[in-house]
Structure 1
């Protein structure tokens, strides 16, 4: 019987999110594909430095060791060819990362393999690949460059933090805020407090994460989750009731009422934070690894909103 990934939490990641490929990418942009291929082959025995998502991946894979079973799978989805990708696999082996499955797409977008690998989440530095994945119904985020080096993790607990509207939830409430302002948004959310929000692109990933959490001892779980939203009272009630309706538990919920999210994410110790708004991402990436989710009304060009 063929191997199955249906019983695992599956994360797909691009080579540039996993490793620092800034120099080789510069060569690609300035000198073209042939020069890039020659460079990668010539340097294939030189180990790549970790990229912005490397600490997250290392922690994800370490989770399998803590659980004593393979419950998390990380898959490489790369625009490289297998030939130029040899340097990437050499680096994977050097760091002892248990990544054994990959798709090297020879310059084409790898997002089309997300479904085939049963991936719950796709992380990349390529905006087109991320938007294609989101349009196809998958949770995806563009890993943003960190402003400063991340602090060493204080423990092995894996901490995921999520924005609410347009990430975990749909952007239906955000549309009202953008079109009519804060007062109309608050009034609408108060009137709809008992009406669950629709799911956003990260609902299936959060559900898969919650399923894994539910199988682990609650008091000693190696995974913690947090909702970090700009909402405040009275708009908090609909969020709480929606998660209750979905049967999804979050360990922590922060309703910040417009405060900068970065310091709170640092206090939570997030290994990664996902948000649809670039401004919030800029605040977050000063402290933690951050994924921009280019989805919803705040990422729609103005000419298409009218």
Structure 2
């Protein structure tokens, strides 16, 4: 395990920090089933008895591994960090840390909450992104103004290179859901007319705007021809609704490496062609489709998730 020493004071101002739950880093389905069926005591006994058994890799393992490798590409103080936030106790979490050490992941900071929700530690750790399997924890993180998503099992793939690829939906993820509200309320024609009329008016930021801004600051430290991070916008929008998106990103001074305006086509094949390590979308139906191809995070934000 790489022994990177983190300073005891405030993190580097440009450090990018991701918080993850133990259930997205490792495959804990078997032990979680014991927890659901037999309770906390049986779960604790199961984990302690097997604390030296290495856990299988989970949905976010490849993403975390690539993310941490970025520190090897930049001199000086580490510029990225992964924080473990877990509902386990420290006692049962020993198996998780033993597995982290086995795989050589440089993760040294954690909060074990013994059954409680760990979302309240996201802000004290200064996290920019939170990934979990617990939808309620994710919603509470979003309420705190932190980009967050519920990772859907099924689509994680081992990629053949070290480039970390993030893909984002537009409305209600990078942007506010102001345009999507018109679409849901009045239909496609009204949405198209409203977007054409507002083409030069930037959209408001969505829950992932801040994360994308911090990610781009990190990208800027690399030669564009040799950057280990790529980003993509993958949206159901099409012309003429594309113009407002382009002008919004320009007004924010944010560069997206690739943009796909699909006009309602399924996103999965495009995400697989991009090689996304993770894709973020607010609409459950799009997440279900994408998760067959790539690791997918549902962002429970905006009008598409009201009442759910």
User: Which TM-score bucket, shorter chain as reference?
Assistant: over 0.9
> Do residues 17 (structure 1) and 32 (structure 2) align?
no
The answer as to whether partners of 2:142 and 2:207 remain within 8 angstroms in 1 is yes
Deviation at 1:57, TM superposition (A): 0.4
> Do residues 159 (structure 1) and 158 (structure 2) align?
no
| Inter-partner Cα distance in structure 1 for 2:275 and 2:74 | 21
> Do residues 33 (structure 1) and 40 (structure 2) align?
yes
Ranges in structure 1 where 5+ consecutive residues have no aligned partner: none
Match of 2:132 among 124, 129, 132: 124
Q: What do the CA deviations read for 1:139-168 (whole angstroms, capped 9, x no partner)?
A: 000010115x62x31211111000000000
The answer as to whether partners of 2:84 and 2:110 remain within 8 angstroms in 1 is yes
Q: What do the CA deviations read for 1:175-201 (whole angstroms, capped 9, x no partner)?
A: 000011000000000011011100000
Match of 2:201 among 195, 201, 209: 195
Give runs of aligned pairs for residues 175-254 of structure 1, distance below 5 A.
Answer: 175-254=181-260
| Inter-partner Cα distance in structure 1 for 2:14 and 2:245 | 29
Specify the alignment match of 1:299 in structure 2.
Answer: 305
Specify the alignment match of 2:146 in structure 1.
Answer: 138
> Do residues 90 (structure 1) and 98 (structure 2) align?
yes
Specify the alignment match of 2:286 in structure 1.
Answer: 280
Deviation at 1:68, TM superposition (A): 4.0
The answer as to whether partners of 2:14 and 2:217 remain within 8 angstroms in 1 is no
Runs of 4+, deviation exceeding 6 Å: none
The answer as to whether partners of 2:88 and 2:114 remain within 8 angstroms in 1 is yes
**TM-score, normalising length: structure 2:** 0.95
Q: What do the CA deviations read for 1:22-72 (whole angstroms, capped 9, x no partner)?
A: 011001100111111111111111110001111100110111113344211
SS in 2 for 1:30: helix
Ranges in structure 2 where 5+ consecutive residues have no aligned partner: 1-6
Count of residues in Structure 1 that have an aligned counterpart in Structure 2: 300
Q: CA RMSD in A?
A: 1.2
| Inter-partner Cα distance in structure 2 for 1:214 and 1:68 | 14
The answer as to whether partners of 2:281 and 2:299 remain within 8 angstroms in 1 is yes
Match of 2:61 among 42, 54, 67: 54
Specify the alignment match of 1:114 in structure 2.
Answer: 122
